[in-house]
Amino acid sequence: MDALGRTSRVLARLETALAQVSALAMFLIMAVVVADVLLRYFFSMPLIFSYDLISMYLMVIVFFFALPDTLHRHGHIAIDFFQPYIAARLRFVAEALGYAAATLVMVLIAWKLSGRTWTAFVRDEVTATTIPWPVWLSSLPAAIGCWLFAARALYRCVAHVASAIAGSARVELPPPPLTSREEENPL
């Protein structure tokens, strides 16, 4: 087993774990909303924390913990119109450049989020709401998701460079798009 394969598998395990936490957070959002609606309209006792819990913590987890897994599964929007017309080595170089740019941007975002998280933690910052929620807990999932996204993008950048040098794929490539004929009759 090569180093690129091992790296991809480790990243995939982390991405899958975060995606599962993301799904759990989505379930918790639904449960809190249902409980809040029932308590609000049937017992006139709304949950005073539901809006803050959902907006500050659960939505952040849903979005940022799903982000790296979506990249791993090639779920982000990609324009592949010219892909069949580009030579393999040139395509790998172009992919490497794109992933290098994505890595740089996500590292900068993750760095800022990590700094913000640390500052809020050290200063023991809390929200100015009915319940004083810790601020650092709302930015920590965003930082974790961005770091893992950056790690997957860096892996892809390195793997596409290796693919360009080797002249063959050393990295998982997105599946080809389905044609309308395949969508109608999958067998």
Residue 163 lies in a domain: yes
* Residue 182 maps to a domain: no
Over residues 125-147, the pLDDT tens digits come to 999 888 999 999 999 999 999 99
Q: Check whether 168 has a pLDDT greater than 90.
A: no
> Residue 11 domain-assigned?
yes
Residue 118's closest CA among 143, 138, 136, 144? Answer: 136
Per the domain annotation, does 183 fall within a domain?
A: no
Quote the mean pLDDT of the chain. 91
Give the bridge partners for 134, in sequence order.
126
Domain count for the chain: 1
Do the domain assignments include residue 181?
no
* Domain boundaries, position 46: 3-174
pLDDT of residue 39: 95
- pTM for this prediction: 0.89
Residue 27 placed within a domain: yes
The three-class DSSP label of residue 134 is strand
CB 155 within 8 A of CB 11: yes
17-28: average pLDDT: 98
pLDDT at 74: 87
Return the pLDDT at 181: 55
Domain assignment of residue 29, yes or no: yes
Question: Which residue's structure tokens are 């929200």?
Answer: 127
Of 24-28, 50-54, 84-88, 175-179, where does mean pLDDT reach its minimum? 175-179
Q: Nearest 5°: CA angle at 107, between 167 and 81?
A: 45
Mean pLDDT, residues 92-98 taken together: 93
In a domain, 184, yes or no: no
Find out whether 97 and 165 touch, Cβ atoms under 8 Å.
no
